[in-house]
């Protein structure tokens, strides 16, 4: 059980209680701009024995839609394959990549923003035989849109439309050595990973809870997926991945994973900025579309917060997440 | 297996109808260039880099272009179209070390695989291309070719230009080792590889004149001019042919 699950829905709770899958890959799953890179930075710090930390040397950043690894692994140039063969190649590469070391086998962490989809074992996008578990990082969709707009150099309204209805899927491209990549809408994304029929455990953590207490939230989750570590090491890793350090590292040496359209990857890392930055009609547009999933994940709608304030005028509009508030600024 | 109403049985390797001649030709090319040739070169002892090789207009020296195939194709196309260069090998590039005067020299070898490019990029480059498979966005484009082994004079690392990063710059110090190391292909394309061998190869590659080109699309004329100035300055014109 994760530290934050107390405030999350039963659907989320059940998803974390399945037995571990047979593989060694732990998928770090999130909708874009939800803290995936930050969590990777913490885990990279935890797994690394290097005293120095560089934002350009984070592990787990190779997303599964990239199939360029077929050249060294199989001697196969993916540019000569058609799109259906590319999907099959993706599954093969993931299955081949998951041979871990150690006893018990150390988990291999890999990032993805895609929606979950199953299917034929020959071309499963997230092969069950390679997968051990999932860590699903979720973030308030009202908060995501600011970062999303900045990263893709689009307006906030366009970002709201993308998060609300789902941006077009990135098409399969042998030329770019990529399979199709579909994010879906914010709700569709979370729904797909929290579905009852997934064959491996899914540990949902909220960005806002991580922001409040990253060590407290991650410690039980990392233990549950089979990573052996000491609390002191995790504390140190969380400290090394402090947001202001990531921002400073990017300012000094750039960040290879940033968008060509964006001047920076790491913004403020704050929570609750949407309350002052997002227009009321855009808040409504998000809440109208995602109310159900926001409820499941413990994000209160503005109307509920207003009712709370009307019934008790002394109540400030504090964040609704478990234990989270605006005091924490890392 | 098809069973006709009279009870006859026909066994076919194909589900419904056999593929057309064009499809078979495409499959043969894919098998040859996309799998058989790189493996064959690796097993015959060639060093394969995640790179392409182009021969300078003088015909005397090779520039190794290291990077992902998408960016390589842009640079190759523009060097060939605008600068009179010839493609020796598209990604992956086969190379060997040759002793000459007691000093190891890197020699690039030709491949017959066509230059592959994304359909969209080929259109942007005004290149005619033919699709290499039925359902793909990859086309094979025609560029001037070289067919003889030739000595490598310099190494250019290519990639996406990050915000705030220079479009063209020389590489120094550890950057050279990092860039050389990234170009090594491992796994089945490096039979018998070891950490010691990798280090030795990386060190030799890092000794070459080395620069980095960041791309956001094509190569701007002023950037191309700086690239060609650098090429002139690193002795590309003087490097001898090693036929």
**What is the per-residue pLDDT for A14?**
83
Q: Which residues, 6+ apart, have CB-to-CB distance to B197 below 8 Å?
A: none
- To the nearest whole Å, the CA of B63 is away from the closest chain A CA by 22
Q: Do B216 and A258 touch (CB under 8 A)?
A: no
A279 touches chain B (CB under 8 A): no
Closest to B134 in 3D by CA, of A83, A172, A90, A70: A83
Backbone φ, ψ for residue B234 (5° rounding)? -90, 10
Q: Which residues, 6+ apart, have CB-to-CB distance to B163 below 8 Å?
A: A254, A258, A260, A262, A263, A264
Residues of B with CB under 8 A from a CB of A: 29-30, 33-35, 38-39, 42, 50, 68-70, 91-92, 116-121, 132-138, 160-165, 185-190, 216
**What is the per-residue pLDDT for A185?**
96
**What is the per-residue pLDDT for A156?**
92
Taking residues B3-19, what's their average pLDDT? Answer: 72
Q: Do B187 and A77 touch (CB under 8 A)?
A: no
- To the nearest whole Å, the CA of B82 is away from the closest chain A CA by 23
Render pLDDT for B143-195 as a digit per residue (tens, 0 to 9): 999 999 999 999 999 988 876 778 999 999 999 999 999 999 988 999 888 89
A81 touches chain B (CB under 8 A): yes
Rounded CA gap, A326 and A320, in Å?
Answer: 11
Rounded CA gap, A308 and B68, in Å?
Answer: 55
Instruction: Tell me the sheet residues that pair with A25.
Output: A108, A131
Tokens linked to A269:
């890392």
Long-range contacts of A145-149 (CB under 8 A, 24+ apart): A145/A274, A145/A278, A145/A282, A145/A286, A146/A267, A146/A273, A146/A274, A146/A277, A146/A278, A147/A33, A147/A267, A148/A32, A148/A33
**What is the per-residue pLDDT for B242?**
38
Instruction: Tell me the sheet residues that pair with B47.
Output: B95
Closest to A210 in 3D by CA, of A201, A202, A221: A221
Q: Do B188 and A75 touch (CB under 8 A)?
A: yes
CB-facing half-sphere around the CA of A120: CA atoms within 13 A: 7
For β-strands A131-138 and A202-206, DSSP reports them as: parallel
Rounded CA gap, B35 and B26, in Å?
Answer: 13
Q: Do A76 and B35 touch (CB under 8 A)?
A: yes
Tokens linked to B216:
């956001």
Rounded CA gap, B27 and A85, in Å?
Answer: 12
Q: Which residue reads 């950043």 in tokens?
A: A61
Q: Which residue reads 């170009």 in tokens?
A: B183
Q: Which residue reads 């994000």 in tokens?
A: A299
User: What's the CA angle centered on B180, arms B179 and B186, to 5 degrees?
Assistant: 115
Render pLDDT for B90-136 as a digit per residue (tens, 0 to 9): 999 999 999 878 888 999 999 999 999 999 999 998 888 999 999 99
Which chain B residues touch A71 with a CB distance below 8 Å?
Answer: 38, 50, 92, 185, 189
**What is the per-residue pLDDT for B72?**
95
Which residue on chain A is closest to B190 by alpha carbon?
A72
Tokens linked to B33:
């260039």
User: What's the CA angle centered on A246, arms A266 and A282, to 5 degrees?
Assistant: 20
A228 touches chain B (CB under 8 A): no
A175 touches chain B (CB under 8 A): yes
Q: Do B188 and A74 touch (CB under 8 A)?
A: yes
Q: Give yes or no for a contact between A205 and A217, defined as CB atoms under 8 angstroms apart.
A: yes
Q: Give yes or no for a contact between A33 and A148, defined as CB atoms under 8 angstroms apart.
A: yes
User: What's the CA angle centered on A269, arms A265 and A275, to 5 degrees?
Assistant: 115
Which chain B residues touch A72 with a CB distance below 8 Å?
Answer: 185-190
3-state secondary structure at position A253:
helix
DSSP letter string over A194-252? H-TT-SS-EEEEEHHHHHHHHHHHHHHHHHHTT----HHHHHHHHHHT-HHHHHHHHHH
3-state secondary structure at position B154:
strand
Rounded CA gap, A322 and A299, in Å?
Answer: 10
Which residue on chain A is closest to B73 by alpha carbon?
A175
A82 touches chain B (CB under 8 A): yes
DSSP B14: S
**What is the per-residue pLDDT for A293?**
94
Instruction: Tell me the sheet residues that pair with B156.
Output: B65, B211
Rounded CA gap, B119 and A79, in Å?
Answer: 12
Rounded CA gap, B142 and B80, in Å?
Answer: 10
Which chain A residues touch B40 with a CB distance below 8 Å?
Answer: none
Rounded CA gap, B157 and B155, in Å?
Answer: 7
Backbone φ, ψ for residue A287 (5° rounding)? -65, -35
Tokens linked to A243:
């947001």
Instruction: Tell me the sheet residues that pair with A98.
Output: none
- To the nearest whole Å, the CA of A82 is away from the closest chain B CA by 5
Q: Which segments within B90-189 are labelled E, that is strand? A: 93-100, 103-108, 115-118, 129-131, 138-141, 150-160, 168-170
A216 touches chain B (CB under 8 A): no
Q: Give yes or no for a contact between A141 and A186, defined as CB atoms under 8 angstroms apart.
A: yes
**What is the per-residue pLDDT for B217?**
81
- To the nearest whole Å, the CA of B20 is away from the closest chain A CA by 16
Which value does ipTM take for this structure? 0.89
Rounded CA gap, B75 and B215, in Å?
Answer: 9
- To the nearest whole Å, the CA of B73 is away from the closest chain A CA by 10
Alpha helices by DSSP H, listed for B21-173, are 21-31, 37-43, 69-83, 119-124
Render pLDDT for A245-258 as a digit per residue (tens, 0 to 9): 766 666 666 666 66
DSSP A178: B
Per-residue pLDDT of chain A (330 residues; tens, 9 = 90+): 444 444 567 778 888 889 999 999 999 999 999 999 899 989 988 887 665 566 566 665 679 999 999 998 899 999 999 999 999 999 999 998 866 555 557 899 999 999 999 988 889 999 999 999 999 999 999 999 988 888 888 999 999 999 999 988 889 999 999 999 999 999 999 999 999 999 999 999 999 999 999 999 999 999 999 998 899 999 999 988 877 776 666 666 666 666 655 656 566 666 778 788 889 999 999 999 999 999 999 999 987 666 655 565 544 444 444 433 333 323
Q: Do B136 and A175 touch (CB under 8 A)?
A: yes
Render pLDDT for A26-58 as a digit per residue (tens, 0 to 9): 999 999 999 998 999 899 888 876 655 665 666
DSSP A172: P
């Amino acid at each position: 059980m994760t530290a934050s699950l107390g405030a999350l829905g039963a659907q989320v709770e059940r998803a974390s209680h399945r037995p571990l899958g047979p593989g060694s890959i732990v998928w770090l799953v999130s909708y874009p701009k939800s803290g995936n890179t930050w969590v990777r930075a913490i885990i990279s710090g935890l797994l690394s024995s290097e005293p120095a930390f560089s934002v350009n040397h984070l592990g787990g950043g190779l997303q599964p839609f990239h199939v360029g690894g077929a050249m060294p692994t199989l001697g196969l140039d993916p540019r000569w394959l058609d799109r259906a063969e590319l999907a099959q190649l993706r599954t093969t590469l993931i299955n081949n990549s998951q041979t871990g070391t150690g006893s018990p086998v150390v988990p291999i962490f890999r990032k993805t923003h895609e929606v979950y989809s199953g299917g034929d074992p020959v071309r499963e996008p997230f092969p069950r035989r390679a997968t051990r578990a999932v860590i699903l990082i979720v973030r308030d969709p009202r908060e995501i849109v600011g970062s999303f707009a900045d990263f893709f150099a689009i307006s906030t309204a366009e970002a709201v439309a993308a998060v609300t209805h789902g941006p077009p899927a990135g098409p399969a491209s042998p030329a770019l050595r990529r399979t199709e990549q579909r994010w879906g809408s914010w709700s569709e994304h979370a729904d797909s990973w929290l579905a009852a029929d997934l064959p491996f455990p899914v540990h949902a953590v909220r960005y806002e809870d991580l922001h409040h207490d990253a060590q407290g939230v991650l410690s039980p989750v990392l233990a549950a997926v089979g990573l052996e570590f000491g609390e002191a090491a995790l504390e140190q890793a969380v400290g090394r991945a402090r947001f202001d350090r990531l921002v400073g590292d990017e300012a000094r040496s750039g960040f290879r994973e940033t968008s060509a359209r964006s001047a920076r990857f790491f913004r403020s890392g704050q929570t609750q900025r949407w309350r002052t930055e997002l227009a009321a009609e855009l808040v409504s547009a998000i809440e109208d579309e995602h109310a159900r999933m926001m409820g499941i994940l413990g994000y209160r709608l503005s109307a509920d917060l207003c009712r709370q304030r009307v019934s008790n005028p002394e109540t400030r509009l504090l964040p609704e997440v478990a234990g989270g508030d605006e005091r924490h600024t890392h | 297996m098809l069973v006709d109403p009279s009870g006859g049985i026909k066994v076919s390797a194909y589900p419904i109808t056999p593929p057309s001649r064009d499809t078979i030709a495409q499959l043969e090319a894919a098998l040859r260039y996309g799998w058989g040739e790189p493996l064959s070169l690796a097993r015959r002892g060639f060093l394969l880099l995640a790179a392409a090789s182009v021969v300078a207009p003088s015909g005397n020296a090779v520039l190794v272009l290291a990077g992902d195939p998408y960016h390589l194709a842009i640079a190759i196309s523009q060097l060939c179209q605008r600068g009179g260069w010839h493609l020796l090998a598209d990604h992956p590039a086969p190379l060997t070390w040759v002793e000459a005067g007691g000093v190891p020299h890197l020699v690039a070898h030709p491949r017959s695989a066509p230059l592959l490019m994304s359909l969209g990029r080929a259109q942007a480059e005004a290149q005619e291309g033919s699709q290499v498979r039925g359902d793909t966005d990859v086309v094979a484009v025609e560029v001037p070719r070289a067919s003889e082994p030739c000595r490598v004079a310099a190494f250019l690392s290519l990639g996406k230009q990050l915000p705030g990063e220079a479009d063209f710059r020389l590489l120094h110090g550890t950057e050279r080792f990092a860039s050389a190391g990234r170009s090594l292909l491992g796994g089945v394309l490096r039979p018998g590889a070891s950490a010691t061998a990798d280090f030795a190869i990386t060190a030799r590659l890092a000794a070459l004149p080395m620069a980095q080109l960041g791309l956001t699309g094509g190569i701007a004329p002023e950037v191309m001019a700086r690239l060609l100035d650098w090429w002139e300055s690193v002795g590309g014109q003087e490097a001898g042919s090693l036929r």
